[in-house]
């Protein structure tokens, strides 16, 4: 501290002549009003403002300043904004990517290191407008949803621990339809406490039991809806139910009879279902593998899945529990012997669930016979800050204190013709894009 202030003093003296008449030295260090306010607006305010899920509001210098040291720590460790996806390996072109640029992180850190100065208030940007709470964000583009399915009512208390609400609800879908877009919408009143809300389709098997058909929607706070890539059909099955998994995190406001909604936009009548490739969003588990993580121990597991036809991978969402610390997916192509990591989350946190959706044209294209390898790493030592009890043996199971190891992966199922065509399109785009 002493050293900094001495340097500060010298440079202040040195700058005095140059500064005569100037309001603020430009470029010496970042200020709140000039750079930091804009970075906070773009990356943090969606959650960090009154009534949203961030525990504190970041809408003014007075609100941000006391948190400066913690902000520095959280952005450097990339815990905030909460989006755990490695920047140095795998596909980097993602839709709805919350990661901050290295440049913005460096600017925030430099600002805190300079003593978090306000700067000249005249440089402050206008307050940023956020989408209205409780309205479909896809509506301006697509109109209102064709079909809305709501969770059954649940009383959210004003305070207390995390809670899960997992009702099954009939969909009323009479015949199979192709989905164009999906959005999950918490109620206006419980907007701040609905941390995430996932839904999946269930259908009845021959014995009449309800079994998983596929994922309908996945929602984490602050998210937009999901559009199914063009030319693909994600089926909404007839005679189905929706199983909700809603994670509430009380935020001070008690809400009686709360309901979360999922809106579905179907493909238009003239959509050629026969020409479309089927896309599904499914869980890829470790196949048959049970495992046990010993007290104070570490473990790595791997799951494998092969396709007998070519596929396009559209999104990936890792899922582990409290001992899980990292996961990735790789593609192994036995025809070439090549193995390639396509996505990795090496600072995984169970508090956040994200589906990493690859941008159109960047989705991995995989030949028939290739294998998806899912690798997960667990840390049951006291070094894992999320570990509730390092003295326990931990096995696979449903409870939060058990472990889980699977991914939700959206896959478009191709044939050889479609696969070759997509490869050619990519090659053409690459050739066209080259200088
Ligand atoms: C998607 C919503 C969301 C976004 C975006 C977000 N935060 Fe947060 N933030 C939260 C939530 C929820 C918590 C409390 C739970 C937690 O720490 O995970 C939190 C906690 C924090 C904390 C306090 C941690 C502690 O230990 O008390 C800091 C500091 C923070 N965020 C800074 C930021 C900054 C800086 C940004 C932008 C660069 C940002 N957050 C973006 C939701 C968000």
How remote is the CA of residue 45 from the centroid of ligand 1, in Å?
A: 10
Band of residue 14 on the pLDDT scale cut at 50, 70, 90: very low
For ligand 1, residues with CB inside 6 Å are 43-44, 46-48, 53-55, 67, 70-71, 74-75, 80-82, 100, 221-222, 351
Higher pLDDT: 215 or 294? It is 294
Considering Cα of 58, then 62, then 67, then 72, what sign does the dihedral take?
positive
Q: Which atom of ligand 1 is nearest to the CA of 53?
A: 12
Q: Would you say the C-alpha torsion 130, 132, 136, 138 has a positive or negative sign?
A: negative
Indicate the pLDDT class of residue 288, thresholds 50, 70 and 90. low
Q: What is the pLDDT of residues 359-392, one digit of tens each?
A: 999 999 999 999 999 999 999 999 998 898 999 9
Q: How far is the CA of 40 from the centre of ligand 1 (A)?
A: 11
- Return the pLDDT at 20: 37
Q: Report the b/e string of 281-316 with b at 16+ CB within 10 A.
A: bbebbbeeeeeebeeeeebebebebebeebbbbbbb
Q: Compare 430 and 2 and report the one with higher pLDDT.
A: 430
Q: Would you say residue 432 has pLDDT above 70?
A: yes
pLDDT tens, position by position, 207-261: 999 999 988 987 876 667 888 988 899 999 999 999 999 988 888 889 999 999 9
The yes-or-no verdict on residue 23 having pLDDT over 60 is no
CA 259 to centroid of ligand 1, rounded, Å: 25
188, two tokens: 């206006």
* Pocket perturbation via mutation, ligand 1, pick of 32, 46, 47 by most ligand atoms within 8 A of CB: 47
Over residues 305-321, mean pLDDT: 93
Identify whether the C-beta of residue 133 lies closer than 8 Å to the C-beta of residue 192. Answer: no
% pLDDT > 70, the chain: 91
pLDDT at 10 over 80: no
Predicted confidence band at 141 (pLDDT cuts at 50, 70, 90)?
Answer: confident
Q: Quick one: what percent of the chain has pLDDT higher than 90?
A: 64
Ligand 1 centre distance from Cα of residue 105 (Å): 14
CA-proximal residue: ligand 1, atom 31 (nearest): 80
pLDDT for 54: 85
What's the first-to-final CA gap in the chain, in angstroms? 50
Q: What is the mean pLDDT of residues 107-132?
A: 93
pLDDT at residue number 191: 83
pLDDT given for residue 58 in this prediction: 97
Half-sphere exposure of 118 (CA within 13 A, CB side): 9
What average pLDDT score do residues 155-174 get?
A: 92
């Amino acid at each position: 501290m002493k050293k900094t202030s001495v340097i500060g003093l010298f440079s202040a003296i040195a700058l005095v002549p140059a500064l005569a008449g100037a309001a603020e030295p430009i470029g010496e260090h970042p200020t709140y009003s000039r750079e930091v306010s804009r970075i906070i607006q773009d990356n943090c305010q969606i959650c960090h403002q009154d009534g949203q899920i961030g525990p504190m509001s970041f809408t003014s210098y007075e609100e941000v300043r006391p948190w400066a040291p913690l902000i520095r720590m959280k952005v450097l460790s990339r815990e905030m904004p909460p989006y755990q996806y490695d920047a140095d390996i795998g596909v980097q072109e993602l839709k709805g990517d919350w990661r901050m640029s290295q440049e913005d992180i460096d600017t925030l850190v430099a600002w805190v290191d300079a003593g978090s100065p306000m700067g000249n208030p005249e440089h402050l940007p206008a307050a940023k407008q956020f989408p209205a709470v409780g309205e479909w964000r896809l509506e301006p583009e697509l109109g209102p949803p064709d079909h809305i399915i709501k969770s059954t009512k649940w009383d959210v208390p004003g305070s207390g621990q995390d809670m899960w609400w997992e009702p099954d609800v009939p969909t009323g879908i009479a015949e199979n339809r192709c989905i164009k877009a999906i959005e999950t919408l918490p109620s206006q009143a419980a907007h701040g406490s609905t941390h995430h809300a996932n839904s999946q389709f269930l259908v009845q098997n021959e014995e009449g039991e309800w079994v998983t058909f596929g994922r309908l929607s996945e929602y984490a706070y602050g998210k937009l809806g999901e559009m199914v890539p063009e030319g693909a059909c994600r089926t909404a099955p007839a005679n189905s139910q929706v199983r909700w998994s809603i994670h509430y995190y009380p935020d001070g406001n008690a809400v009686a009879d709360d309901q979360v909604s999922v809106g579905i936009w179907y493909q238009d009548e003239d959509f050629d279902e026969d020409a479309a490739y089927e896309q599904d969003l499914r869980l890829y588990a470790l196949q048959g593998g049970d495992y046990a993580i010993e007290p104070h121990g570490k473990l790595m597991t791997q799951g494998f899945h092969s396709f007998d036809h070519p596929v396009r991978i559209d999104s990936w969402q890792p899922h582990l529990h409290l001992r899980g610390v990292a996961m990735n997916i790789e593609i192994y192509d036995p025809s070439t012997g090549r193995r390639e990591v396509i996505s990795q989350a090496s600072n995984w946190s169970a508090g956040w669930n994200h589906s990493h959706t690859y941008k159109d044209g960047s989705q991995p294209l995989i030949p028939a016979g290739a294998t998806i390898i899912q690798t997960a790493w667990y840390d049951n030592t006291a070094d894992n800050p999320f570990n509730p009890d390092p003295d326990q043996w931990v096995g696979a199971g449903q409870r939060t204190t058990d472990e889980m190891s699977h991914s939700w992966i959206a896959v478009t199922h191709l044939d050889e013709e479609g696969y070759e065509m997509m490869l050619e399109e990519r090659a053409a785009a690459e050739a066209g894009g080259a200088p």
